[in-house]
Homo-oligomer: A and B are copies of this chain.
């Protein structure tokens, strides 16, 4: 069978994959993995290879972007190729091009889903899934942009929460911290004065979502900016209107100050 199966590795470590994903990996002709679109803090390729009882080829961003994943497509023309991707395979939009190219070359594609950082963050926070608006990535300062501030403002105006993913460069071991992201947003607030990301607004910081030791802290921005979240990866939520059950969840799970109760709607 000539096909290309995209499989989500899920979160954190080599056991974040599903049983279905593991079985598909074992039965493939060739197996490839990329580990640059998301950080899986406790993932060991060696342990994963032991779990699958086989060798796996690591592909770089360069191999995928400059060479259009040629090596993967060639393998899929000769048998069943599996491409392992952190999280759920197409939540990072990077690999959609590879899937379109495969289909255009007559290669059948399928996917086996994995747990995604998106739903993990929402699950951990205790905030209501259907109250999240558009998601945004906060870039490093050298790529400064007002977009994150604008997305938060737009969502907040509609009463919606904003999930902010914080930029990372895994190859360089660089991770935008929660404190850096907040400072960048406060800087835009200084200019725009819309009252959207002020020191007195509430935010929720998360580190290592999906791992065995996530850190979750809800507090006023002025406090959160100095909080020690430990090791990456990081993310940040700016809540819109808070239902009283959401406030109770933030107090129970994210160590939010009890004074948050007066914000419940």
Interface set of A (CB-CB < 8 Å, partner B): 8, 10-11, 13-20, 22-23, 51, 87-93, 96-97, 99-100, 103-104, 110-111, 113-116, 118-120, 122-124, 126, 128-137, 154, 158, 160, 210, 212, 245, 248-249, 252-253
A132 close to B134 (CB less than 8 A): yes
Question: Given A99-B249, A116-B119, A129-B135, list of 17 further CB < 8 A pairs?
Answer: A15-B23, A17-B18, A88-B115, A90-B126, A91-B122, A91-B129, A96-B126, A100-B252, A103-B253, A111-B123, A113-B119, A113-B120, A113-B123, A114-B115, A118-B119, A132-B134, A154-B158
Residues of B within 8 A of A15 (CB): 18-20, 23
Residues of B within 8 A of A23 (CB): 15
A-B contact pairs, 30 of them (CB 8 A): A10-B18, A16-B20, A18-B19, A19-B22, A88-B115, A88-B122, A88-B123, A90-B122, A90-B124, A90-B129, A91-B122, A91-B129, A99-B126, A99-B253, A100-B245, A103-B253, A104-B252, A110-B212, A111-B123, A113-B115, A115-B115, A115-B116, A116-B118, A116-B119, A118-B129, A129-B135, A130-B135, A130-B136, A130-B137, A134-B160
Residues of B within 8 A of A88 (CB): 115, 119-120, 122-123
B97 close to A245 (CB less than 8 A): yes
The number of times this chain is found in the oligomer is 2
Residues of B within 8 A of A20 (CB): 13, 15-16
Residues of B within 8 A of A120 (CB): 88, 113
A127 to chain B, nearest CB (A): 9
Residues of B within 8 A of A13 (CB): 20
A115 close to B10 (CB less than 8 A): yes
B135 close to A134 (CB less than 8 A): no
